């Protein structure tokens, strides 16, 4: 009963924000009449892809973050560069995005079942939701009804870098309507997947241009990472081929399970990224991280709430935008 009440409050809060903008509301089961099997089709394609490659799961969760942080959750990260326009996906922070072909496969299946009905923006949100459920039993209902944006520009991409401070990342999150609890919860996805060496080079060799490594990093962790990430120069042009290391070296179930082990690594001083390790500093972030480390159910519930909140950032609804027929290009 309590969890249902809290979830209802969350949905009401999301709907209230949208209502204040005088736009039609997102709603649960938006496609119930126009495409009854839409959510089932998304789930089946994601399941099939994940069965072949487990790295699909963290990639789809990450994709929602990269889409929603620029122009809101409008699917603009999927648009290809064309005609002299450099699109979002070709901006440096997005060059390491993966599994965009899974979104293409979902869209193709939906277009066969219900042509011109389901937006690419909703596909991103639903695919991320299903990935979270498959990776860590994080289950939640996602209101749908998003429309697709028609503008995608690399010049507008301003994503918090994995090497920024927690305070700077929190400022960026607050700017899109999320808070310290949301940031702390969503960083929990860093228990999954891999990190390019470029994002830890400063901690390993030259923290803040001091010529020395980060002394707050666990010595054993630093030695392990230095073995995988020797000193080298990385540019945006070769970043996608840079060496990778697991995001959470202490994950008990490997790099594709979404659980609360990330927070135990953080509190033990063994986080890979600087932003993650700063969760162990004093104040609210540490308190929330400790709560999640001790309570896997609390982590799953908050991660679900924060994903719904993220998926509701600056959405297009009603007659705004369009429903793209091909997620990689705007309709002609």
- Which amino acids are annotated catalytic? 66
Q: Which residues contact 43 (CB under 8 A, 6 or more apart)?
A: 126, 130
Among candidates 255, 203, 207, 240, which has minimal Cα distance to 224?
203
Cα 120 from chain centroid (whole Å): 16
Adjacent-strand bridge partners of 329 = 326
What are the structure tokens assigned to 70, written together? 């620029």
Taking the C-alpha atoms of residue 119 and residue 87, their distance in angstroms, rounded to an integer, is 19
The Cα-based distances of 236 to 118, 159, 247, 319 in angstroms read 34, 15, 20, 37
DSSP result, 48-104: HHHHH-TTHHHHHHHHHHHHHTTTSSSSGGGPPPBTTB--GGGSGGGTT---HHHHH
Q: Using CB atoms within 10 Å of the CB of residue 10, give its burial: 0 to 12 exposed, 13 to 18 middle, 19+ buried.
A: middle
The Cα-based distances of 28 to 141, 173, 287 in angstroms read 7, 25, 33
117: left (phi > 0), else alpha (psi -120 to 50), else beta? alpha
DSSP state of 240: G
Taking the C-alpha atoms of residue 303 and residue 189, their distance in angstroms, rounded to an integer, is 9
What are the structure tokens assigned to 242, written together? 């840079």
Taking the C-alpha atoms of residue 98 and residue 68, their distance in angstroms, rounded to an integer, is 16
């Amino acid at each position: 009963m309590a969890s249902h009440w809290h979830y209802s409050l969350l949905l009401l809060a999301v709907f209230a924000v949208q209502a204040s903008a005088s736009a039609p509301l997102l709603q649960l089961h938006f496609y119930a009449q126009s495409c009854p099997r839409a959510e089932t089709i998304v789930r089946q394609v994601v399941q099939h892809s994940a069965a072949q490659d487990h790295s699909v799961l963290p990639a789809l969760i990450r994709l929602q973050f990269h889409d929603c942080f620029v122009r809101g959750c409008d699917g603009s990260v999927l648009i290809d560069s064309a005609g002299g326009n450099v699109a979002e996906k070709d901006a440096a922070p997005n060059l390491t995005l993966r599994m965009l072909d899974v979104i293409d496969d979902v869209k193709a299946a939906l277009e066969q079942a219900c042509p011109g009905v389901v937006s690419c923006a909703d596909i991103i949100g639903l695919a991320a939701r299903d990935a979270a459920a498959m990776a860590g039993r994080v289950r939640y209902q996602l209101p749908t009804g998003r429309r697709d944006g028609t503008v995608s520009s690399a010049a507008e991409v301003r994503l918090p870098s994995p090497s920024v401070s927690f305070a700077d990342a929190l400022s960026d999150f607050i700017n899109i309507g999320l808070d310290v609890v949301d940031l702390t919860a969503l960083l929990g996805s860093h228990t999954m997947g891999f990190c390019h060496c470029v994002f830890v080079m400063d901690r390993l060799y030259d923290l803040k241009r001091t010529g020395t490594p980060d002394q707050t990093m666990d010595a054993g962790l630093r030695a392990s990472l230095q073995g995988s990430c020797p000193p080298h120069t990385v540019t945006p042009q070769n970043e996608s081929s840079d060496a990778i290391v697991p995001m959470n070296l202490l994950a008990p179930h490997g790099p594709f399970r979404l659980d609360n082990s990330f927070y135990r690594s953080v509190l033990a001083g063994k986080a890979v990224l600087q932003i993650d390790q700063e969760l162990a500093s004093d104040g609210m972030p540490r308190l929330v991280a400790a709560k999640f480390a001790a309570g896997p159910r609390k982590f799953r519930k908050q991660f679900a709430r924060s994903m719904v909140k993220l998926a509701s950032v600056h959405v297009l609804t009603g007659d705004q935008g369009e429903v793209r027929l091909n997620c990689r290009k705007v309709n002609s």
